Chain A
Amino acid sequence: MPVTSIAGRDIHVDAEGFLTSYDEWTPELAEQLAAQIGIDLTDAHRKVVAFLRDDYATQGETATLRRVSTLSGVGTKELFTLFPKKPAKKMAYIAGLPKPHGCV
Chain B
Amino acid sequence: MTTQAAPAIVPNFGDDETTGRKLAIICSKGTLDMAYPGLVLANAALGEGVETHLFFTFWGFDMITKSRMANLKFTPLGNTATHLPQGVGGLPGMTALATHQMRKQIADVGVPEVPEFLEQIVASGGHLWACRMSADMMHVTKDDLYDGVEDIINAADFIEKTDGAQLLFI
CB distance from A71 to the nearest CB of B (A): 11
Partner of A76, one of B5, B7, B9, B123: B123
Whether A65 lies near B110 (C-beta < 8 A) is no
Whether A85 lies near B123 (C-beta < 8 A) is no
Q: Does B15 contact A (CB under 8 A)?
A: yes
Interface size class of A (residues with CB under 8 A): 20 to 34
Partner of A89, one of B9, B11, B40, B120: B11
Whether B13 lies near A85 (C-beta < 8 A) is yes
Q: Does B115 contact A (CB under 8 A)?
A: no
Q: Does A21 contact B (CB under 8 A)?
A: no
Whether B11 lies near A77 (C-beta < 8 A) is no
Task: Name which residue of chain B comes closest to A104, CB basis.
Answer: B111
Whether A75 lies near B47 (C-beta < 8 A) is no
Given A66-B110, A85-B49, A87-B47: A104 and B5 within 8 A (CB)? Answer: no
Partner of A36, one of B6, B10, B109, B110: B10
Q: Does B112 contact A (CB under 8 A)?
A: yes
Q: Does A73 contact B (CB under 8 A)?
A: no
Given A5-B6, A17-B9, A67-B110: A86 and B43 within 8 A (CB)? Answer: no
Q: Does B14 contact A (CB under 8 A)?
A: yes
CB distance from A20 to the nearest CB of B (A): 11
Whether A4 lies near B125 (C-beta < 8 A) is no
Whether A104 lies near B11 (C-beta < 8 A) is no
Partner of A4, one of B8, B15, B40, B109: B8
Whether B120 lies near A76 (C-beta < 8 A) is yes
In the assembled complex, the Cα of A69 lies from the Cα of B120 at a distance in Å of 9
In the assembled complex, the Cα of A102 lies from the Cα of B49 at a distance in Å of 17
Q: Does A60 contact B (CB under 8 A)?
A: no
Point out residues on A near B: beta carbons under 8 Å: 2-6, 10, 13, 15-18, 36-38, 64-67, 69, 75-77, 80, 84-90, 93, 102-104
Query: A-B pairs with the 5 shortest C-beta distances?
Result: A85-B49, A76-B123, A17-B9, A17-B11, A4-B9
Query: Would you give 14 A-B contacts (Cβ < 8 Å), ordered by A?
Result: A16-B11, A16-B12, A17-B10, A37-B11, A66-B110, A66-B112, A66-B120, A69-B123, A76-B123, A85-B14, A85-B48, A86-B14, A86-B48, A89-B11
Point out residues on B near A: beta carbons under 8 Å: 5-15, 40, 43-44, 47-49, 109-112, 117, 120, 123-125
